[in-house]
Structure 1
Amino acid sequence: MTLILSMAAFALVASLSPGPVNLVGFNTGLTHGWRPALRHVAGATLGFVALLLAVGFGLHELLTAWPRLLDVLRVAGALFLLYLAWKLARAAGDLGSRPRDDCPGFRDGALLQWLNPKAWLAAAAGVALFVGEDRLRLALFAGLYLVICFASLACWAVAGEWLRGRALAPARLRLLNRGLAALLVLCAVSLLWEG
């Protein structure tokens, strides 16, 4: 039971703490509502669980063998974050009238996880801490992560929906979008700075 609680605590802290995936989920809930944001949440959750399973089955050895691959991921992740920040900064500040295809979806969430070196490191740390070579533990950890990550990311989308209900004026929403865009830029810079 202690192992399950430790795995759950790790998944909760890693999933609920602020980061680029959470910021995008929050803004999607704010501008489109929590239901459309669930596509992004599902993509990010399944993207991370797939990454966790891949690392558990040995993909992390690729990073050990080719450490430059982490640099490629870092740059690609930073560029993707800058792209998302640019889209967010250009948003008009209206609620719900943006085109549906402008809403970050499943693919964006999954891609954001796979291009995030911190997600790779969290997956590698989680596998090293809790799994080792035990495939049953890997399945347990992935199952816990699936539920906890989805719930945590959905909380961010619901928080955005809650703020949406506070009748933000377009000028304030544009200011909030630009603030969130600046945070995404800081995330991108931190990815590049760590290299």
Structure 2
Amino acid sequence: MNVLVSMAAFALAASITPGPVNIVALASGARFGFLRSQGHVLGATLGFVCLLLFTGFGLRELLAQWPLLVELVRWAGVLFLLYLAWKLASDNGQLGTGAATPSPSFWRGAAIQWLNPKAWLAAVAGMGALVGDGQAWLIWSFAAIYFLVCYLSVACWVYAGAYLTAHLRNPGQVRLFNRCMAAVLGGCALSLLHG
């Protein structure tokens, strides 16, 4: 039972802390609201759980043998996060239905996780620390726990963004908020170059 509690604590620490996925969730909640952002939440959650399962069932060894893959993922992640930051910064801030700007999708949420070096680090570190011997039941237990914790954590960021909507009353305020979030996301991306 202690290992399951440790898994939950690890999942919470890795999922609730600021990072690219949560910054996008916050901005999405502010721009599109809680319900329209659920595709991002589910995509990010399932994307990470798949990454965790792949890591637990052998990807760890592949990455150890091919360290260039880790570098490629890191650079792809940096470029993708900079692209998302640019999209946020260039948003016009218009409130309303957002028909011209679709809310973040399930697939974008999943892609962020696979291109997010923080997610790779969490998957490899979590599996290494908590499922070192690779027992299948522990891998599946960790994935189930992580699904619940990750979903709730990302949803909290979306909710916080949706709550901020009450304070973002005009396009200028929305643009300022988006540009601040873009700067944070860009900072996350650039910090990955030194990691």
In the superposition, the TM-score normalised over structure 1's length comes to: 0.95
Please, which runs of 5 or more residues in structure 1 have no aligned partner?
Answer: none
Alignment of 1:69-148 (within 5 A): 69-99=69-99, 102-132=102-132, 133-148=134-149
- Contact conserved, 2:10 with 2:126, CA < 8 A, in 1? yes
Superposed CA RMSD in Å reads 1.2
Match of 1:6 in 2: 6
* Distance in 2 of aligned mates of 1:178 and 1:101: 16
Q: Which amino acid aligns with 1:117?
A: P
Q: 1:24 to 1:170 in 2, by over 3 A?
A: same
* Distance in 2 of aligned mates of 1:13 and 1:99: 35
Aligned-partner SS, 2:25: helix
How far did 1:192 drift?
1.7
Aligned-partner SS, 1:91: coil
How far did 1:167 drift?
4.4
Q: Does 1:188 align with 2:182?
A: no
* Distance in 1 of aligned mates of 2:3 and 2:61: 25
Aligned-partner SS, 2:125: helix
Match of 1:154 in 2: 155
Q: Which amino acid aligns with 2:146?
A: Y
How far did 1:187 drift?
1.1
- Contact conserved, 1:78 with 1:192, CA < 8 A, in 2? yes
Q: Which amino acid aligns with 1:164?
A: T
* Distance in 1 of aligned mates of 2:90 and 2:145: 37
- Contact conserved, 1:11 with 1:148, CA < 8 A, in 2? yes
Q: Which amino acid aligns with 2:107?
A: R
How far did 1:98 drift?
2.1
* Distance in 2 of aligned mates of 1:118 and 1:83: 17
Moved more, 181-190 or 159-168: 159-168
Please, which runs of 5 or more residues in structure 2 have no aligned partner?
Answer: none
Aligned-partner SS, 1:103: coil
* Distance in 1 of aligned mates of 2:136 and 2:126: 13
Task: String of CA shifts for 1:156-192, please: whole Å, max 9, x gaps.
Answer: 0011111112343221211111011011111111112
**Any runs of at least 4 consecutive aligned residues in structure 1 with deviations exceeding 4 A, and if so which?**
none
Task: String of CA shifts for 1:45-91, please: whole Å, max 9, x gaps.
Answer: 00000000000001111211110111110110011001101110011
Percent identity for Structure 1 against Structure 2: 52
In the superposition, the TM-score normalised over structure 2's length comes to: 0.95
- Contact conserved, 1:114 with 1:120, CA < 8 A, in 2? yes
**Paired positions, count:** 194
Match of 1:32 in 2: 32
